[in-house]
Each structure stands twice: as structure tokens, then as C-alpha cells.
Structure 1
Amino acid sequence: MTAATIDQVSPTIDQDGEVDWRALLEQAMTMPGHLGDTYCRFHQYSLANQLLLWSQGVTEPCAPFKVWKALGRIPVKGGARFVRHPRPVYEKDAETGERVVKFVRFVLRRSTFPYSNTVGPEIEWPELPEWDAQRALAALDITQVPYAMIDGNCQGYSYQRNVSVSPTAKFALKTLFHEIGHVMLGHTSDSADGESACSRGVREFQAESVAYLLAHELELSEWAPEESRAYIQQWLGDEEVTDGHIRAVFTAVDKILRAGRTVTDTDVDEETGEPIAS
């Protein structure tokens, strides 16, 4: 089977007519994937430039005019911020006569624009008929907080019981699934132990696996399965995944699904009018 046709394969269905999560996860770990440009659309500013931008009050993704234009956003005139640009100083080599770099000096130029100083379409959060993100966050006691990082290639992050999604995230809802997964798997807990106390590779594998299964289960259309597969496989590398790691993924997916399910008429007790626990 080729990579071009792989995403046209229907998720494995078990004998009860439900999506077989274990088979689907096996596909994510073994089928071909491709990362695309999701994690490389922005320039990675040096630590020195990040500190310089922070000193100017910037805590959001930044990019030059050309990058924002390519992403469909137009920078506001006068909204640029200073960053350091290298400017080599040359001299002629005494032996060869060739021009060589003597040293590099840095000059300040107002050449990068914070996200809030650009104009264009905002994130469109896909609506799912059977699942609501805000309902899930409230039920799981998770807070979505404003994104506060300069790195535009980072899609989101999580800490304690907080999650954040970048305003430039390519697949916002899938990213939210991923960050909620980190929280539910105990990766953001100060007292994580047992199966939660695992390597970074296993943690990223688990969180993206949660997102992968949720996206299939909820029939999310605005995402790229091949990118999730590549992300899972690259982070996992030679790491060993235990049955406990996989069970933790399934438990997290189940809790997130239940937390965000929309209450329907069939979910309500006819006598009391209260939702029926599933």
C-alpha cells in the first residue's frame, strides 16, 4: 500500500461496529507519514533575539513581512519590532587575495512583526456535531489560556491543568486534543509517577496518539493524519512502548470523549430530566 492511498483506508472496525483503537494506533505507529510544513513555517529566532523581543513586550509568534504575507496575513505599518541581524565585516587575505570574513557584527533592524500587529483571518475552530471542546474542558477541569510564546512553529503547550493553542496553529482543534492529552495522561503533573513518569519521546507519542484517535473517532476533517503518524514515529524512535502506556492512551481518549459529548434526548432520563451517565 502506498503513502498516497493510505489515508483513504477506513479505520479498522471491530465486530460491534466501533472503531478499533488498538488497530488504529498500530496503523499510526507503522504506516508511512509525512510532517509537511506545520513545524517549519516560521523562522526560529535565536535566544538573544527572543530576549530582545521579550524586552519589547512581545510574547506571541513573530515573523517578517514575507512570511506573514505567505500565511495570508498583512503586517500593520509601524508594527515591526527590533531584532539583531548579522553583518559580516570582510578583509582581504594577505596570501590568497580573497575576501574573507574578519568578524561579524550585529545591527538592530525593525524587521519582525508580532501576530497582533498583523491583519488577516483568525483561527476557525471546527464544530463537531457530537462533541464540544468547551464542555470537555469544563468537565475535565482544564483551562485554556492565551498563547504566550514567540516561537511560531510551536503549535501549543500545556502545564499543570492549563492548555494553550497558538493563534497560528495549522490544525487548532487537533492541537487542542494533543495538549488535553498531555494533561489527562499526567505529563503536566508535578507528582507524576508510575507509567506517567516516562521519557519525552513516550510522552509525545502518547499525547499525539490521543489526538490521532480522537480525530478519527470524532471524524475531524481539518487535520493531516500523515503528519500525526510522522510525529508519533519520529518522537517514538527506538523507545519502548509498554501495554501500560497504551492503556493510558485509551483511558485518556475515553475520558475526553465522555467529557465533551453533547447531551441528546436519548441521554436524558424521562422522569427526572437529568442526563444519564454513560
Structure 2
Amino acid sequence: MTDRLPASSSAPAEAQVSSARRRALGDFLRSVRARVAPAMVGLPAGSRRRTPGLRREEVAQLCGISVTWYTWIEQGRDVSASPGVWARLANVLQLVRAERQYLFELAECTDPDHARGEAAELPLDLADCVHSITAPAYILDRCWNVLARNQPMLRLFDGWPDRSERPNLLRYIFQDVAARELVVGWEQRARRVVAEFRADAGAHADEPDIRALVDELVQTSSVFMRWWTRQTVVEREGGRREFKHPDLGILSYRQITFRLATRPDCKLVMLLTDS
């Protein structure tokens, strides 16, 4: 936890943005704190409250942090808090989904309760969205399990992922011999995939499902192990993808990836014909 002076007008743009973000975070917490009545969190209402809602010391006590620390957060000072602290604040202040997401965006960290609370199945409207796309398309969760796919994607991958009870793109790439035949430049693509997955899974590296998947791939694929241990991290940028289909020959696509607003732990991947 640190206490720094506010950014001056001559500070770099990044510092000014960070200062504005901290002020927005403090303003937001003060606003939602004022609407939470003591009875809503099991506290006596008392008879001498000058303002509605919870006091700062009550929020701090309920979250298990110091009053000074919480006060600094509301004042927009530069403090460091773990994701668990922000999660406790969100629970105590009874934030709804959009508010909770806003809090973690301002705090610049990942909600540890979000992924654990997500259902394994997608809402039907998201699955319907994938089926309505004419290009090969699919949705991956944070472990790169395929939660939805359309028929063009199934044809491109020559029957995968329907060959697996719970298809996973990483297992396909590193454990299925068909991937080496289908993906043009497999070695180069596999190397980049490992770096993309590390960037994707970084915030959840300690979660059991991520750890189990990585452990399995390290044990079953020497290629995955080699590139995983190199600690390379890159963003999922998309771009040109080529496939050598057993019936259709060489196919070229442009890969585009979207994060889903209603399921931030998931991404929609589309492969557009590269004309």
C-alpha cells in the first residue's frame, strides 16, 4: 500500500489517466456506500446517523481492511489491493453485475468470483448467434473449451470438435495428430498459441481448471512444454490462417476474435474467407 501525491499538470498522460481512474473509483464507492442501509448487512441502524448508508469504518470492518486504507481508496489515492479485497467490497456494497464489472475495471484487476460463478453452458442466445454466422465460428471459454460452434467450423475442422465429449482447442492442437495435418505451419502456430493462452490465462493461473489443463499439456506434449516454460506472452491478434483440408485443399481465412460482454470469460472467434 502506497500513498502518492496527485499527478501534476505536467505529469505524463498515463499518470493523469490513472489519477482520473482512482478518483472515479472513489466517487463510485462513496455513491454506492450511501445507498446501503445498515440493516441490509446485518448492522443495527442506530439513531444518530447524519448521512444515509454505511459509514466508512463499517465498510472497512465488514471487508476486513483498515479504515485508513478504505478512506484512501475513496479519496482517490494510489493504493494496492488484492482481487479478494475488491470482491469483498463488491459483496458488502451489494453491487449488481454491471456495477461489479465497473468496479473491477476501475481497479484494473480480474474479479476472482466471476469465472467461478459462470455456468459451463452458454445462454441459448449466444449459441444461436454462433449458428447464425455463415463463416466458421466458435466460442471458447478461459480454458479454451469449445462451448459453441457452427456447421462451417465443423466442416473446416473435418468433424472436430464433435469427436470429443468436451472439445478443447489446446488439446486438439497439441494432442490430436489431425491438427498437424490440418493447420498449415503447425509448429509456428503452436508456438504462438501457447503465448496467447498464457496471456489469456494469466489472471486465472492459480485456478484449478487452468492448472489441471496446463499440467496435462506439459506432460503430454513436448512442444507445449518447451514453449510454456519460455514464459512468452502475446496478445491474440488474429490475422491470416491457412488450413490444408483433406477434401477442399488449402483454405485461407482472416481470424477475428471478440470478447463477449455478457460472458467476459469467453471469446467469439470467426474465420472470414481471405479473398
Instruction: Using structure 2 for the length normalisation, give the TM-score.
Output: 0.25
More helix per residue: 2
